[in-house]
Structure 1
Amino acid sequence: MIPFNKPHLTGKEVHYIYEAVHSGKISGNGIFTKKCHDFFTSTYGFTKTLMTSSCTDALEMSSLLMDIQPGDEIILPTFTFVSTANAFVLRGAKLVFVDSLATEPNMNVELIEGLITSKTKAIVVVHYAGVACDMDVVMNIAKKYQLFVVEDAAQAISSYYKDKPLGGIGDFGAFSFHETKNIISGEGGLLAINNSDYCNRSEIIWEKGTNRSAFFRGETDKYGWVDVGSSFLPSEIISAFLYAQLENVAEIQAKRLEIWNTYYNTLSPLAEHKKLRLPYIPAYATNNAHMFYVICNSLEERTALIDYLKAHNILAVFHYLSLHKSPYFSDKHDGRSMDYADQYAETLVRLPLFYDLSTEDQEFICTKILSFYSEKI
């Protein structure tokens, strides 16, 4: 079976873990945590960065930093992973979902302004497949109504909106290093704090509500409980693994993009004949090759394609179900239709894409997809 994903090792992960273990400090915020923080601030220009145990944790930190209270309204896409929503539900917020675009799964930012009320506190954007939302529109709306902006950049490392790195445009940006992402540490995440007003408090929330980090820098003679917080920072072992990946980010991204382009070029004839749709990359966005998907013409066609590929030992998978229709939220939704998101939920198929996918396997996958549509005719 050709898997959907296979974690890639650069070669230094175990070596750096060995270094971390023998440094005498394997709890969080050690030498490799600092190396990762320095990498993100120097490479992408984020104001401050904090390693977290997951992107979910990073999003929950942003919710605490914005002091989300029961009744506050959060505008976010319905076509996203549940962590995007849970981070704010946990604080008692009301979710206001937005439909996707006709051209791509990203949220339709032109719908945001019409959903703003006096209770709106933040706009949360998700850069689906590492492709940017139109952030100028989002930031202009946020400025006009004095709202926070959180970027769920779980899939968007090394991807840009115009010349700005994703995760570095809104007040906060959340990244994932889950093993399905481009750069991995098994589990793991990062919060980018781009609004300098929240740098100090972010560190306190990160350290369980204490000023422990300031104490270890010698900025205070003792530390104690000064705010709300939780245990968000990961062990040094996770950061050590991640740092080996970060050292090779350019090479990893280049290889993934090569695979992405092969899919796109080989399957383009199907798109030209309206047999399926391929990913759309707006002019303002770059492509970090996080994912390659095709969009079928119906749920039945998608099911048949996935089954056909599986019969030929290829694991392709669908993706999110619209959150506004989920068992948890369906009776809380305001009734607006989300036709495009529902369409993607029923017709989108993700193809295998990972660093070690061989040319032969990719050619085999493409051949079988072409054969499927040839047989359909």
Structure 2
Amino acid sequence: MNIPFNKPYMTGKELGYITQAHARGHLAGDGEFTKRCHRWLEERTGAHAAFLTHSCTGALEMAAILADIQPGDEVIMPSYTFVSTANAFVLRGGVPVFVDIRPDTLNLDETRIEAAITPRTRAIVPVHYAGVACEMDAIMAIARRHGLLVIEDAAQGIMAGYKGRALGSIGHLGTFSFHETKNIISGEGGALLINEPELVARAEVIREKGTNRSRFFRGEIDKYTWVDIGSSYLPGEIIAAFLWAQIEEANSITARRLAIWRRYHEALAPLERARRLRRPIIPAGCQHNAHLYYLLLPSPNERTAFIDTMKNASVNCVFHYVPLHTAPQGQRVGRAHGKLPVTTDLADRLVRLPLWLGVEEQQERSVSAIIGFFHE
């Protein structure tokens, strides 16, 4: 039996909630299920306000507008991330400034940020890779010293934390993804967390196509009109209903994923001691969510051989990002601060293992195939 890299999980309540949404006669955005999701996100994270969006990409685009990114403004971020992290700011005319990552967590190296700051720098975008927190205390201190905004790309960070605080709630703005590859899913979907109260009113307008429609629905004005730039960032109520079924099971979903993660971690410890691979590192103070389990192999060639061998064993393992500073568009619109040797090296050697709810039944076969590769 083939073991896919990912398989979307359903709790069993999704279709029932979608039926309820239809019965209420409200399938556009901001219905009852959307409001439930907003309340949960605000209570779970401590954010001042949370807004569902059609994707994490949309949430990042909203963040770029709220940050008032203008042509030529620079935004510091890792190169080892998904294209949406950079695209959101490039769409406003911003310039991504790619900074190297830490060798332990693969997160933005906080010790290299300050040297990359120029008079045009406007924001720092830490990306919490694999649901493991960046060193947010240091990043926030740098931002305060230089008057910069911090926008957390917590696409992989739902139910994860840093020193007891939810990821996405520490910077001025934060974003989540509910894409089908994430821990809590709605197929496509995302959320924007607003941690600065003065940004809430404008965020609401931007999300509603630049109109004050939300105020109209609350009875605060007698008609709504166009008051700012914006776009249609709302998800439909069917998406929110699906998401609510997932959110209700967020604790149990996370616990099961952590159990799968720990099984890999324990089983592969002898191979790390033998220096055949490196396992993920979770620093003290980081409460991860088992978003993914990766290995760092000794060389790119060994990674290729590993992926091919696992595929022949019907275990689908995959690499991850091509660093943005090496991509054609990244070279056109951004700049790298230095040569980024850690990013380049680790991106060539990283491989991700299957981790999804239900893989537990077949995990021992995956573990056996992995161990067998190194003992050939």
Once the two structures are superposed, the pairs formed by residues 151-162 of structure 1 within 5 Å of their partners are: 151-162=152-163
Report the alpha carbon displacement of residue 302 of structure 1 after superposing the two structures with TM: 0.1
TM-score for the superposition, normalised by structure 2: 0.98
- TM superposition shift of 1:333: 3.0
C-alpha distance in 2 between matches for 1:280 and 1:308: 25
The number of residues matched between the two structures is: 374
1:182 corresponding residue in structure 2:
183
Cα distance in 2 between the residues matched to 1:197 and 1:255: 38
Letter in 2 for 1:118: P
Match of 1:357 in 2: 359
CA contact (8 A) 1:293 1:351 kept: yes
Partner of 1:338: 340
Aligned counterparts, 1:100-111, within 5 A: 100-111=101-112
Cα distance in structure 2, aligned partners of 1:107 and 1:273: 28
Alpha-carbon distance between aligned partners in 1 of 2:319 and 2:257, rounded to the nearest angstrom = 20
Q: Is residue 253–residue 288 contact of structure 1 (8 Å, CA) maintained in 2?
A: yes
For the aligned residue pairs, the C-alpha RMSD in angstroms reads 0.9
Per-residue deviation, 1:334: 4.7
1:187-226 alignment, distance < 5 Å:
187-226=188-227
Which structure 2 residues correspond to residues 165-180 of structure 1 after superposition, within 5 A? 165-180=166-181
Distance, in Å, in 1 between the alignment partners of 2:31 and 2:105 is: 41
Q: Does 1:326 align with 2:327?
A: yes
CA separation in 2, counterparts of 1:330 and 1:374? 41
CA contact (8 A) 2:99 2:336 kept: no
- Residues 53-97 of structure 1, C-alpha deviations (whole Å, 9 max, x = no match): 000000000001111100100000000000000000001111110
User: Cα deviation per residue 1:5-50 (whole Å; 9 max; x = unaligned)?
Assistant: 0111101100000001111110001111001001111122111000
Q: Which amino acid letter does the alignment assign opposite residue 284 of structure 2?
A: A
Map 1:266-345 to 2 at 5 A: 266-331=267-332, 332-334=334-336, 336-345=338-347
For residue 252 of structure 2, what is the amino acid of its counterpart?
E
Matched AA of 1:338: L
SS at match of 1:328: helix
Task: Name the aligned partner's letter for residue 349 of structure 2.
Answer: T
Tell me the SS of whatever aligns to 1:174: strand
Q: Aligned partners of 2:276 and 2:47: how far apart in 1?
A: 42
Rounded to whole Å, the distance in 1 between the matches of 2:157 and 2:67 is 22
- 1:163 to partner: Cα distance: 1.0
| 8 A Cα contact 2:99 2:338, kept in partner | no
Corresponding residue SS for 1:84 = helix
Equivalent residues of 1:204, 1:210 under 8 A apart: yes
State the SS of the aligned residue for 1:329: helix
Cα distance between partner residues in 2 of 1:321 and 1:273: 28
Q: Contact 1:52–1:188 at 8 Å: present in 2 too?
A: yes
Distance 2:337 2:164 in 1: 38
1 CA distance for matches of 2:184 and 2:371? 30
Distance, in Å, in 1 between the alignment partners of 2:265 and 2:363 is: 12
One-letter code of the match for 2:340?
Answer: M
Q: Aligned runs of 1:39-54 on 2, under 5 Å?
A: 39-54=40-55
Q: Distance in 1 between matches of 2:228 and 2:242?
A: 31
Deviations 1:116-147 (A, max 9, x none): 11110000010000000000000001111110
Instruction: Say whether 1:126 aligns with 2:127.
Output: yes
CA distance in 1, matches of 2:61, 2:243: 21
SS at match of 1:112: helix
Q: 2: distance between equivalents of 1:10 and 1:299?
A: 38
Percent identical pairs in the alignment equals: 52
CA distance in 2, matches of 1:104, 1:15: 40
Q: What SS does the corresponding residue of 1:14 show, helix, strand or coil?
A: helix
Q: What stretches of structure 2 of length at least 5 have no aligned partner?
A: none
CA contact (8 A) 1:134 1:284 kept: no
Match of 2:73 in 1: 72
> What corresponds to 2:243 in structure 1?
242
TM-fit CA distance, 1:104: 2.4
What secondary structure, in the 3-state scheme, does the structure 2 residue paired with 1:125 have?
coil
Deviation at residue 358 of structure 1 after TM alignment? 2.7
CA contact (8 A) 1:74 1:121 kept: yes
Contact preservation (8 Å) 2:107, 2:134? yes
Contact kept, 8 Å, 2:80 with 2:324, in 1: the verdict is yes
One-letter identity of the residue aligned with 2:327:
S
SS in 2 for 1:122: strand
